[in-house]
Amino acid sequence: MSKKPIRVTVWHEHVHEKTNKTVAEIYPDGMHAEMKAAIEEYLGEDVVVRTALLEEAEHGLTDEVLAETDVMTWWGHCAHDQVDDAIVEKVHKRVLEGMGLVVLHSGHYAKIFKKLMGTSCSLRWREAAEKERLWCVDGGHPIADGLEGEFFELPETEMYGEYFDIPTPEETVFISWFEGGEIFRSCCTWTRGKGKVVYFRPGHETFPIYYNKDVRRVLANSVKYVAPRSSAPVRVFDAPCIAEPLEEIKGDHEVDQSLHEH
């Protein structure tokens, strides 16, 4: 019996390509097109990839699209506030139900990531075209699968530095060092409900980051890693609910349910 492919939705803000000449020259078809190509390059027939953009109706994330998405990647930067709160709620619910989410670069400040983390997700940053060295600190992790060395480098990138205000990660796969001296937890994972979440740092729009073979591999590996593992029918409730007992409860103790309303 053949395994069903992972259904991936690459969500992208798609603003810089239309407003910044440098970005348009680097990514003439949009950053989302290169992310899609990277995932398909490394995962092949194991994935079916679609894209969704901020400018589309419902940001491209209709109920139908969300229902047909196993993994979503998220890149945003200058238009976080333009993402509709109702869409964020729907994406959040899907993660709790088991959809995987890979948040990229400046997506650390996206509404959906901050909601899932419950913190400010703030950090230090500097744009000085400096070198970044990403050290793999968990060589046995599936996200690092296929990399050739203990680290890989990006010759020019934007710096992100600690302190990164996130909950303690369940796993840290890469730690970055920058030419200016800072370090950063650049690939982290969490579980939220039934869903897995990965944050991966590289991806600044004015540098050709998504053409780098190691970044492309880590992106694809992350998609594969957060794909749903279980089909167990666990319901996610919008609010606390009274549970009817499965067995008879003996005794005549009566409870005033009004005292327990939430």
Pure H helices in 55-212: 63-67, 85-97, 111-117
State the pLDDT at residue 1: 46
In whole angstroms, give the CA distance from residue 194 to residue 29: 34
State the pLDDT at residue 240: 74
Looking at 3.40.50.880, 2.30.40.10, 2.60.120.10, 3.40.50.410, the CATH number of the domain 6-121+185-260 comes to 3.40.50.880
State the pLDDT at residue 125: 96
Residue closest to 106 by CA, chosen among 75, 135, 68, 130: 75
State the pLDDT at residue 258: 62
Give the mean model confidence (pLDDT) for residues 85-90: 97
Chain segment 151-183, per-residue pLDDT in tens: 999 999 999 999 999 999 999 999 999 999 999
Q: What values do phi and psi take at 38, rounded to 5?
A: -65, -45
State the pLDDT at residue 83: 95
CB contact set of 220 (below 8 Å; sequence gap of 6+): 38, 39, 41, 42, 43
State the pLDDT at residue 256: 64
Q: Which residues pair with 66 in a beta bridge?
A: none
Strands 183-192 and 171-178: antiparallel
Per-residue burial over 50-81, b if 16 or more Cβ lie within 10 Å, else e, is ebbbbeeeebbbeeebbeebbbbbbbbbeebe
- Band (pLDDT 50/70/90 cuts) for residue 126 is very high
- Band (pLDDT 50/70/90 cuts) for residue 119 is very high
Q: Is the pLDDT of residue 85 over 60?
A: yes
Domain ranges of the chain: 6-121+185-260
In whole angstroms, give the CA distance from residue 38 to residue 102: 14
Element spanning 133, H or E: strand 124-136
- 16 three-state secondary structure: helix
